[in-house]
Amino acid sequence: MAKEVERYSKATRYLHWMHAISFSILLLTGLILFVPALGFLAEDSWTRILHRIAAVLFVVAPMIYVPLNMKRSGRGILSAFKWGKEDIRWLLAAPRYYFLCDEEAMPPQGHMNAGQKMWWLIALVFGSLFVVTGGMMWFAKDTASPGLLQWAVIIHDVSFIVTMIMFFVHIYMSAVHPLTRPLKGGSWDSMFCNGKMSADFAKAHYAKWYEEVSENKDSG
């Protein structure tokens, strides 16, 4: 059996599952209001109720995760804001990788590559905006001023556009793109299955992280 390294802890994988499910529901029930032709599906508020149930999942999951994994959460959140030269070089080389499948062009990366880090940063920022503006529309509908609620709608929608794009890119790049397949032993398994990634895949995609991990058994 090929050598494997642990990449995501059980708690992290559960959190990811919760967000994958809740965000998909939130996206679909929100999309209905965004595409006029689908508007009829929102009749009688049932999508609003689903949207709220998913929103609760989306908010509660990290509220349970963070206190139980303080150290890991702190490190994870900080890492979204740590950007270096290697990250810029990775982004510049990304088109060669994703279009020409040129794996040698990529500079070595840490636990997250620059693309993942960008998505993680966007998820943090816009996820927070979603929660704040969504909370306003849910609980302050009768009390907040109309002007404030108008802004909440607009910010919620801009967040929707940005995260929807990145969400699809994220799924595509981690599960559909030719280089991610076969899924066995790659990113997919590490996040959705056993949390482990083959040593070969880790070396090829996260060289710096692989070095660290080989020294001290640490996972994110």
Partner 1 sequence: MTEKAILYDSTSCIACRGCQVACKQWNDNPLDKEENWGDCPQTADISASTWLKIMLNEAKSYGDDTFLFTRRACMHCTDAACIKVCPTGALSRHELGFVTYDKDICSGCGYCMEFCPFGVPQSTRNTLTGAAKMDKCTLCTTPGADRMSENYEPACVKTCPTDALVFGDRDDLVILGNQKVSELKDEGYNNASLYGENELGGLHVLYVLEDSPDRYGLPLTPEFPAMADVWQDIIQPVGLAAGGLLLAGLGLNYIIASRAKAAREKAAKKEV
Rounded CA-CA distance 40/34 in Å is 11
The interface mask with partner 1, positions 46-65, x = CB under 8 A, is -xxx-xx-------------
Looking at the Cβ atoms of 15 and 55, the one nearer to partner 1 is 55
- The SS3 call for residue 3 is coil
If one asks whether residue 143 binds partner 1 (CB under 8 A), the answer comes out as no
Contact residue for partner 1 among 141, 208, 211, 218 (CB under 8 A): 141
Contact residue for partner 1 among 128, 135, 138, 193 (CB under 8 A): 138
If one asks whether residue 157 binds partner 1 (CB under 8 A), the answer comes out as yes
If one asks whether residue 158 binds partner 1 (CB under 8 A), the answer comes out as yes
Rounded CA-CA distance 93/100 in Å is 11
If one asks whether residue 100 binds partner 1 (CB under 8 A), the answer comes out as yes
In angstroms, what is the minimal distance from the CB of 112 to partner 1? 21
If one asks whether residue 160 binds partner 1 (CB under 8 A), the answer comes out as yes
Contact residue for partner 1 among 71, 78, 146, 215 (CB under 8 A): 146
By CB neighbour count within 10 A (0-12 exposed, 13-18 middle, 19+ buried), where does 86 fall?
Answer: middle
Q: Which stretch binds partner 1 (CB under 8 A): 64-72, 77-85, 160-168, 211-219?
A: 160-168
State which of positions 169-198 bind partner 1 (CB under 8 A): 169, 172, 176-179
Rounded CA-CA distance 214/127 in Å is 33
Residue 5 dihedral angles phi and psi, to the nearest 5°: -125, 145
If one asks whether residue 168 binds partner 1 (CB under 8 A), the answer comes out as yes
- Amino acid 75 reads R
What is the CB-side half-sphere exposure of residue 45 using CA atoms within 13 A? Answer: 2
In Å, how far from its chain's centre is CA 169? 10
In angstroms, what is the minimal distance from the CB of 65 to partner 1? 25
Q: CA gyration radius for the chain?
A: 19
Q: DSSP labels for 67-112?
A: HHTHHHHHHHHHHTT---HHHHHHHHHHHHHHHH--GGGSPP--SS
If one asks whether residue 81 binds partner 1 (CB under 8 A), the answer comes out as no
Binding site for partner 1 (CB under 8 A): 32-36, 39-40, 42-45, 47-49, 51-52, 98-102, 137-139, 141-142, 146, 149-151, 153-154, 157-158, 160-161, 164-165, 168-169, 172, 176-179
